[in-house]
Amino acid sequence: MFTIPDVTLNNGVRIPQLGFGVWQVDAGSVVDVVGTALQAGYRSIDTAAAYGNEEGVGEALRRSGIDRDQLFVTSKLWNSDHGYDATLRAFDASLQRLGLDRLDLYLIHWPLPARDAYVGTWKALERLYADGRVRAVGTSNFQIPHLRRVMEEGGIVPMVNQIELHPRLTQAELRRFHAEHRIATEAWSPLGQGNLLDDPTIGKIADAYGKTPAQTIIRWHLQTGNIAIPKSVTPERIRSNFDVFDFELSSGDVDAISALNADQRFGPDPDTFDVA
């Protein structure tokens, strides 16, 4: 039995390098979908208050019978709950929906720079961390100026920044900043929301290893040090996306995939995105 590789965060907590994302997995199917993922071997689940499926994720975790300390559960604070007091309340509500007494990782979902509230929000995450209610805290969609501010005005360096990252958006500058400050890079939409799976370069490399394009991209994430959280509701894809620990891309192939960067986002721009 292999163990899933992990990344040690700047506070010593270990996060599996391959997790399972549940954005757009509807509440009606999430129990089965997460159940399939846990059976396939995933132990890390990435949800958010905004996904509307925390109850089902919690139910799937309980039904699996897997020990809580073998699981890594992430949730995120939604835009409508920024600010110190609202954040503390939103965290309690997420825990309650999940049916858990602590989280492994809690993230600020978006920085919303125009509202200028994220520093207060970050201080609430620091409080939750100090109180032992969450094992690690971090940010999502934070750009370098946002990270600098929470580091300067807060007391701790975020342990994770979860950002859009895939072969068409390799985020070299942000990843360098993360490395300098020991912030782990977590890749959302690691498959480019499925848009990269017919890329000819990726297809050619995948064929050479006898692997699928999705497996090849996931392997690229693992070998470049990212934490990746691919999503699928399709049982066969859920399983095959996890079947990536028996091959290794050459450094030339890793570089060829990195060279596909076109600074192309499939999701919103974090500097301007703001919905309630």
Ligand X SMILES: NC(=O)c1ccc[n+]([C@@H]2O[C@H](COP(=O)([O-])OP(=O)(O)OC[C@H]3O[C@@H](n4cnc5c(N)ncnc54)[C@H](OP(=O)(O)O)[C@@H]3O)[C@@H](O)[C@H]2O)c1
| Positions in the binding site for ligand X (CB under 6 A) | 21-23, 46, 109, 140-141, 162, 188-194, 197, 212, 214, 229-234, 237, 240-241, 267
Q: How far is the CB of 194 from ligand X (least distance, A)?
A: 3
Residue for token digits 């300098």?
180
Q: How far is the CB of 113 from ligand X (least distance, A)?
A: 15
The closest alpha carbon to 157, from 172, 141, 179, belongs to 179
Nearer to ligand X, 64 or 193 (CB): 193
**Phi, psi dihedrals of residue 82, rounded to the nearest 5°:** -60, 160
* Residue in 51, 106, 118, 129 annotated catalytic: 51
Whether 51 is catalytic:
yes
Distance CA 269, CA 162 (A): 14
Q: How far is the CB of 197 from ligand X (least distance, A)?
A: 5
What burial letters (b/e) apply to 142-181, b meaning 16+ CB within 10 Å?
Answer: bbeebbebbeeebeeebbbbbbbbbbbbbbeebbebbeee
Nearer to ligand X, 117 or 230 (CB): 230
Nearer to ligand X, 128 or 202 (CB): 202
Name the residue number minimizing CB distance to ligand X: 21
Q: What is the C-alpha end-to-end distance of the chain, expressed in Å?
A: 44
CA dihedral 238, 220, 146, 77 (to 10 degrees): 10
The closest alpha carbon to 192, from 224, 221, 234, belongs to 221
Nearer to ligand X, 16 or 192 (CB): 192
Q: Which two tokens stand for residue 247?
A: 């091959």
Residues listed for the chain: 276
Nearer to ligand X, 44 or 135 (CB): 44
Question: Contact 100/135 with Cβ under 8 angstroms?
Answer: no
- Which residues carry out catalysis? 51
